[in-house]
Amino acid sequence: MQFIDTDRSEYIISPECKKSFIETAHYTKVISTQKLVTILYTTVWRNGSATIWLNPVEKSDILETEGICLTEYQHDFRESTDTCEVYVDLQDEHDYTEDELKEILESACAEVKTDYNYGEDDDDDDADGEADLTIMDCDPYIMENEGGWTLDETHYYIEGKCVLTPINEVDCDSDNAVNGDVAVA
């Protein structure tokens, strides 16, 4: 017999402080040398929210915790606004040759330059006066639409304290209401 948790309530969860809603997209691709490459594309948003379903114990835990990963709970992303910062991380970056790094950057970035000194702190300009291409130049649009990358999963995090608003307390105007219910993205 499977236990069904019927004691869940629906909330909108958001960070108490600005610049605390974080989205990390996991992109993967198999390159020509048959290595599986993973790039983590992290965006810090000025604000964001999700719908979350919690039982009383989970609700208490979240309200007492400094920071959570929404993936650990039943949730639906609602919105995020105003990008504040972006961080791009090539997993196991030191395991790739210069040619592999070139292939990775060519498939993930909008503009291809001729100097691929990935992560080195020498000159910022190559012989042509162009800036070196780095993993921070990755563009999700290029990765997904032109570079052959797959968006495997996206995780949402809230740093610091969270605010929970019961769905039935959310103000809804006629533009956001569907049959008397709050429209959720």
156-167 confidence digits (pLDDT tens): 999 999 999 998
Residue 157 to residue 33: CA distance in whole angstroms: 34
H-only helix segments in 128-183: 140-145
pLDDT of residue 10: 95
Q: List the domain range (segments joined by +) for residue 77.
A: 9-169
In a domain, 113, yes or no: yes
Answer whether residue 34 is part of any domain. yes
Does residue 185 belong to any structural domain of this protein? no
Helix (H) or strand (E) holding 78: strand 74-90
For residue 27, the Cα-to-chain-centroid distance in whole angstroms is 10
What's the average model confidence in pLDDT over 36-53?
Answer: 97
In a domain, 140, yes or no: yes
Is residue 134, in this structure, part of any structural domain at all? yes
Can you name the residues that pair with 15 across neighbouring β-strands? 162
Rounded to a whole number, what is the distance in angstroms from the first to the last CA of the chain?
34
Q: Is 2 domain-assigned?
A: no
> Quick check: helix, strand or coil at residue 25?
strand
What is the Cα–Cα distance from 23 to 70, expressed in whole angstroms? 10
- Is residue 178 included in any domain, yes or no? no
- 108: helix, strand or coil: helix
Count: domains in the chain: 1
Residue 152 forms part of a structural domain? yes
**For 79-135, what is each residue's pLDDT tens digit?**
999 999 999 999 999 999 999 999 999 999 986 445 555 555 545 544 554 557 789
List, in sequence order, every residue forming a beta bridge with 24; answer none if it has no partner.
Answer: 42, 155
Confidence of residue 173 (pLDDT cuts 50, 70, 90): very low
